[in-house]
A and B are shown apart, each in its own frame.
Chain A
Amino acid sequence: MTLLHESDYGTPAAVCDETVRVQVDGIDVTVPKGTSVMRAAAEAGLSVPKLCATDSLQPFGSCRLCLVEIDGRKGTPASCTTPCEPGMVVRTQTPKVERLRRNVMELYISDHPLDCLTCPANGDCELQDMAGVVGLREVRYGYEGANHLDAPTDASNPYFSFDESKCIVCSRCVRACDEIQGTLALTIVGRGFESKVSPGGRSFFDSECVSCGACVQACPTATLEEKSVIELGMPTRTVETTCAYCGVGCSFKAELRGDELVRMVPSKSGGANEGHSCVKGRFAWGYATHSDRVLSPLVRDSITEPWREVSWEEAIAFAARRLKEIQAAHGTDSIGGITSSRCTNEEVFVVQKMVRAAFGNNNVDTCARVCHSPTGYGLKTTFGTSAGTQDFKSVAASDVIVVIGANPTDAHPVFGSRMKRRLRQGARLIVIDPRRIDLVRSPHITADYHLQLQPGTNVAVVNAISHVIAEEGLIDDDFVADRCDPILYAEWREFIARPENSPEALEAITGVPAADIRAAARLYADGPNSAIYYGLGVTEHSQGSTMVMAMANLAMATGNIGREGVGVNPLRGQNNVQGSCDMGSFPHEFSGYRHVSDDVVREQFETLWGAELRGDPGMRIPNMFDAAVTGEFKALFVQGEDVAQSDPNTHHVQAALAAMELVIVQDLFLNETARYAHVFLPGTSFLEKDGTFTNAERRINRVRPVMASKTGKQEWEVTCDLSTALGYPMHYDSASQIMDEIATLTPTFAGVSFHLLDEVGSVQWPCNADHPLGTPVMHVDRFVRGQGAFQVTPYVPTEERSTRRYPLLLTTGRVLSQYNVGAQTRRTANVEWFEEDVLDIHEADAEARGIADGTWVTLASRVGSTVMRARICDRVPPGVVYTTFHFPSSGANVVTTEYSDWATNCPEYKVTAVEVSPTLRGPGEQTVGVAAGSSVAG
């Protein structure tokens, strides 16, 4: 494929049912009312010259290049800011406008370096293109006068540079930062000739810029340019693919020069991101070719021995032999596998198939266990399916947005920008979080209510909100009567009205003033379109599942389900959390969330797979670890998950791994888990994969190989080889064939194929005969389960309490520039923004302990301790501390405990009783158990 250029209509599409008919250069064109003349011309196939206009930004009218003549009107209006009116006759090419455009361009070029041949944007520069389009042949003004040609270049950002000498001050970058990203980091300083773009008078690196790349994308010249383009040259071909970071699932154009990836550019046609990106997806992909990658299989008999590099055949034979020996000695159930939310649907599907058909048990689980398993439980119980209700675009129709236990601007930044856009338009905001996340107060956004609850009291707060709604007659009786199970509703109605659920009764527990809860409840109920967005601050609690059901109750009670602008929406942590769950990764379910005990369903799988399958649930990840410690579980296949770093209570996980006779790790890097592994099967990065990811809005996106697999194999091929070696032959000619099998066996995927995805871009499941192009909004006329099922959701305090010895409560999360355990982002320049985990602590707590800002502290819980630097801040209230888990050197999960969600065993990462004390020790001396060596012998 050649370099893909997406069309630019100059101004955004107008959304209006009413149309107007105009004539442009003799061509009749009908457009929605509100469409600009520039866009109408573009839709008629005509191109009006432009510099400050682009269809991702509102029209600005500053460059004066898009002037046109309109019959009956004086002057030459800018076509970008002039809306079409019925019967308008427009002429875009007249001697008058052509002369004006040349004059305008002449002025631009008189203050622009004439270095096109050596400019990195040569061939991809709108200024250069427009100079050609307007027929510029001379510059009469000379270059001796005042100019900006010696203006400095700001190269402080690791990924792009700002060459001020090339800037035409069109403000596209400033507007992109305002309108698309919503950070407002850029501005125009100075007046007249002194006007210039500035990141707030500081360098880009030191500014509020979040490096989303929107400004670089918007720049029509080489002023803002990717350093990779400057270094490698302009790309020549495009491969369309999907980002492998968070659950937003942004579509990207991977742009290459030959076989070398030069840059990742967000796709305007991407359903999830519509042309936007964040610092990770846009720039932090260098890990894929990092020298730390292991590209050959490794084996060793014991974890105290060095690795031996072996052939694929030897590694597979070694792994298969050991697995069979272990099952022969300890029983069929003594082995299992973990699938990865980082991998494609196809890669995940074959792993769970291998476990069920070749291992002969259902001991398969997924890393979603430790993040969004309560979402699956809660939404399936109440609505009938384990997925969010809306597409991302839906937020544009929300009047009230409730963000609970999520930090979208850091963890789901592209959706966060979409949400901020709606908030700047006037949507109201309720934030329920112990921390003051950025959304609470950011440029042009202030939360109406920040319910700063005590960690662990989510259910109490949402019950209290529902109590107010019931007590004050705010329930949508018609919706409930039409759509919900009346018996379950009556049970819930009686429960929620109880005095113990009132905000006043719960105030002492939650720490949230009752008046605020009452006001927030009224706001949510009034909507009219109220939407809930939530993250791991909801699920990673001992009542994670209860909380998901409590939110579903709230949405049903107020009729906020089944249309644009409403819903209950999980913000999934990893790129394919939704997909890995859909693909049958849980030990009790086949793909499509059908229980393994369902004889009819199981028979379908048995018939197609030609294997007898078990009908009883297998072990969850924590069950496997517990059973390993007691000697009942002996071998584990781990696909793309670093359980030794990401799972709670590191000591316990390490003990479990160390107790196993065989650990097989399939990954890019020798991660922390690999220290305990006997077989290392090198994996592929997203740039090498062929398959699909499913994002948080159920959107199935294609992942296309940008480069050949560096290991020589696709990951699904390795799984097939292992399964075959175990005696259950598995073979596919392509990833497409695996999707065909998924579609055959999974009703919600019945209409999905690579062919369809290549044709339409993406679809949101359910995609089947009833919904051939997918389903953006679910539960429109009826719930998937039929009637909505209200659930009684009593608040049960966590057993994890602050004590005299551990008086503070620790909660954990992410920062924008890093991602999960940091395996990828730590291997990129993103470390320049965040190079170590730090502990956020309130000034009062710090002062009481003699802790100064930036000094080392010991963070200790009843299960372990670690060391990191303290950062004194007021984002956390007194009594609460916060850290991230991006770096193994600090190992935040050394202190998190074994407590988990009652229904799903999702760990209670968000509440750990801790103490913090000053220390002189640096990092790397935390009391983690001694890990085995991981040196590689050739």
Chain B
Amino acid sequence: MRIETLTRMAQQIAINNEGVGECEAIERVAKHLKTFWTSAMVDELRGYARGHADELDPVVLGALERLQAQHQV
């Protein structure tokens, strides 16, 4: 998929979850990505985030880290 689409979707999810504080928002965004996104979409966004962290909302980055940690567990 086009990375522009994935980043826009992820940013939008983050913004709409930001009313509850950053920690809770990270938790919710991670859960959302795991529930609704395909593994390939999450992997693609994670790959992009490695080189473009400054372009992504910290909540998105936090959510990707949370998913990575869950995956490794």
A residues bordering B, Cβ < 8 Å? 333, 491, 495, 542-543, 546, 587-588, 595, 597, 616-620, 623, 626-627, 629-630, 632, 792-794, 796, 898, 902-905
Contact = CB atoms under 8 A, between A and B. Distances in A.
A404 B64 CA distance: 36
A902 B12 contact: yes
Contact of A792 (B5, B13, B20): B20
A617 B38 contact: yes
Contacts of B1: 623, 626-627, 630, 632
Nearest to B15: A796
Given A495-B19, A793-B19, A619 B12 contact: no
A904 B36 CA distance: 8
A903 B33 CA distance: 10
A300 B12 CA distance: 41
Contacts of A588: 35-36
Contacts of A792: 19-20
Contacts of B13: 902-903
A626 B16 contact: no
Given A542-B12, A629-B2, A902-B13, A619 B38 contact: yes
Contacts of B5: 626, 898
Residue among B13, B36, B39, B41 facing the most chain A CB atoms (10 A cut-off):
B36
B18 interface: yes
B18 A794 contact: yes
Contacts of A618: 38
A904 B9 CA distance: 10
A632 to B, nearest CB: 7
Given A616-B38, A616-B39, A623-B41, 17 more contacts: A546-B16, A587-B38, A588-B35, A588-B36, A597-B35, A617-B37, A617-B38, A623-B38, A630-B1, A630-B2, A794-B16, A794-B19, A902-B9, A902-B15, A902-B16, A904-B36, A905-B9
Nearest to B16: A902
A607 B72 CA distance: 29
Contacts of B15: 796, 902
Given A495-B19, A627-B1, A630-B2, A617 B12 contact: no
Interface string B16-53: 10111000000000001001111111000000000000
Contacts, number: 53
A623 B39 CA distance: 12
A618 B12 CA distance: 20
Contacts of A619: 38
Given A627-B1, A629-B2, A617 B19 contact: no
Contacts of B41: 623
Contacts of B36: 588, 617, 620, 903-904
Given A619-B38, A902-B13, A903-B13, A491 B2 contact: no
A92 to B, nearest CB: 66
A629 B13 CA distance: 23
B20 A491 contact: yes
Contact of B16 (A587, A620, A796): A796
A511 to B, nearest CB: 22
10 smallest beta-carbon distances between A and B, as pairs: A794-B19, A792-B19, A902-B12, A902-B16, A626-B1, A616-B39, A627-B1, A792-B20, A796-B15, A902-B13
B37 A626 contact: no
Residue among A793, A794, A904 facing the most chain B CB atoms (10 A cut-off):
A794
A595 to B, nearest CB: 7
Contacts of B37: 617
A903 B28 CA distance: 11
Contacts of A903: 13, 16, 32, 36
A627 B18 CA distance: 29
Contacts of A902: 9, 12-13, 15-16
Contacts of B38: 333, 587, 616-619, 623
30 contacts: A333-B38, A543-B16, A587-B38, A588-B35, A588-B36, A595-B35, A597-B35, A616-B38, A616-B39, A617-B35, A617-B38, A619-B38, A623-B1, A623-B38, A623-B41, A626-B2, A626-B5, A627-B1, A630-B1, A632-B1, A632-B40, A792-B19, A792-B20, A794-B16, A794-B18, A796-B15, A796-B16, A902-B13, A902-B16, A905-B9
A903 B14 CA distance: 10
Interface string B50-65: 0000000000000000
Contacts of A616: 38-39
A595 B32 CA distance: 12
Nearest to B41: A623
A801 to B, nearest CB: 15
A904 B13 CA distance: 10
A122 to B, nearest CB: 61
Nearest to A624: B1
B40 to A, nearest CB: 7
Contacts of B40: 333, 632
Contacts of A543: 16
Contacts of A904: 36
A542 B12 CA distance: 9
Nearest to B32: A903
A924 to B, nearest CB: 31
Contacts of A796: 15-16
B57 to A, nearest CB: 12
A839 B22 CA distance: 44
Nearest to B6: A626
A807 B23 CA distance: 39
Contacts of A793: 19
Contacts of A597: 35
A620 to B, nearest CB: 8
A380 to B, nearest CB: 11
Contacts of A629: 2
A587 B36 CA distance: 8
Contacts of A333: 38, 40
Nearest to A904: B36
A632 B40 CA distance: 11
A22 to B, nearest CB: 62
A495 B15 CA distance: 15
Contacts of B9: 902, 905
Nearest to B14: A902
Contacts of B20: 491, 792
Contacts of A630: 1-2
Residue among A546, A595, A792 facing the most chain B CB atoms (10 A cut-off):
A792
A616 B38 CA distance: 7
B6 to A, nearest CB: 9
A780 B65 CA distance: 41
B9 to A, nearest CB: 7
B16 to A, nearest CB: 4
Nearest to B37: A617
A626 B8 CA distance: 13
Residue among A491, A542, A597, A902 facing the most chain B CB atoms (10 A cut-off):
A902
Contacts of B35: 588, 595, 597, 617
B12 to A, nearest CB: 4
Nearest to A620: B36
B8 to A, nearest CB: 8
Residue among A588, A618, A904 facing the most chain B CB atoms (10 A cut-off):
A588
A926 B34 CA distance: 41
A323 to B, nearest CB: 19
B71 to A, nearest CB: 12
Contacts of A491: 20
A630 B4 CA distance: 12
Contacts of B39: 616
Nearest to B25: A792
Contacts of B16: 543, 546, 794, 796, 902-903
Contacts of A794: 16, 18-19
Contacts of A626: 1-2, 5
A542 B15 CA distance: 12
Contacts of A542: 12
A639 B40 CA distance: 25
Contacts of B18: 794
